[in-house]
Amino acid sequence: MPHRSPGLPGPAVDRLHLATGLVLVLSGLLHLLVFAVDGGPWDGPVSWRKPVTFGLSFGVTLITVAWVTSYLRMGRRLRSGLLTVFAADCVVEVGGITLQAWRRVPSHLNMETPFDTAVSMTLAVGGGVLVVLLALFAVSSFRNRPTGPAGMPLAVRSGFAVLLVALASGAAMIARGVVLTRTGHQEAAYHSTAALKPLHGVSLHAVLVLPALAWLLSRTSWSEQVRHRIVAVGVGCYAAAVAAAGVWAVLTY
Q: What is the pLDDT of residues 236-252, one digit of tens each?
A: 999 999 999 999 888 88
**Claim to verify: residue 82 and residue 96 sit in the same structural domain:** yes
pLDDT for 173-211, tens place per residue? 777 776 777 777 666 666 666 778 888 888 988 999 999
Could you say which of 112, 147, 182 is where a domain stops?
147
With 0-12 / 13-18 / 19 or more C-beta atoms within 10 angstroms meaning exposed / middle / buried, residue 152 is: buried
Listing DSSP states for 58-104 in one string gives HHHHHHHHHHHGGGS-S-HHHHHHHHHHHHHHHHHHHHHHHHHHHHT
Are 40 and 159 in the same domain? no
Mean pLDDT in the chain?
88
Q: What is the pLDDT of residues 87-133, one digit of tens each?
A: 999 999 999 999 999 999 988 778 889 999 899 889 989 988 999 99
Instruction: Give me the pLDDT at residue 9, please.
Output: 43
Percent of the chain with pLDDT over 90: 63
Q: Does residue 132 sit in the same domain as residue 162?
A: no
Asked if 188 and 223 sit in the same domain, the reply is: yes
134 and 192 belong to one structural domain: no
Cβ atoms 213, 228 nearer than 8 A = no
Q: Based on the domain organization, do 161 and 127 belong to the same domain?
A: no
Which pTM does this prediction carry?
A: 0.85
Cα of 149 vs its chain's centroid, Å: 24
Q: Check whether residue 76 and residue 131 sit in a common domain.
A: yes
Query: How deeply is 103 buried, as exposed, middle or buried, from its count of CB atoms within 10 A (0-12, 13-18, 19+)?
Result: middle
Q: Give 128-155 pLDDT, tens digit per residue.
A: 899 999 999 999 999 999 999 999 999 9
Q: Are residues 136 and 160 in the same domain?
A: no
The percentage of residues in the chain with a pLDDT greater than 70, rounded to a whole number, is 89
Do 121 and 70 lie in one domain? The reply is yes
Q: Which of 147, 170, 199 is the last residue of a domain?
A: 147
- Print the domain residue range for 15: 1-147
**Cα–Cα distance, 224 to 149 (Å, whole number):** 8
**Total Cβ atoms within 10 A of residue 116:** 17
Say how many domains are in the chain. Answer: 2
pLDDT score at 11: 56
When pLDDT is cut at 50, 70 and 90, the band that residue 3 belongs to is: very low
Are 107 and 118 in the same domain? yes
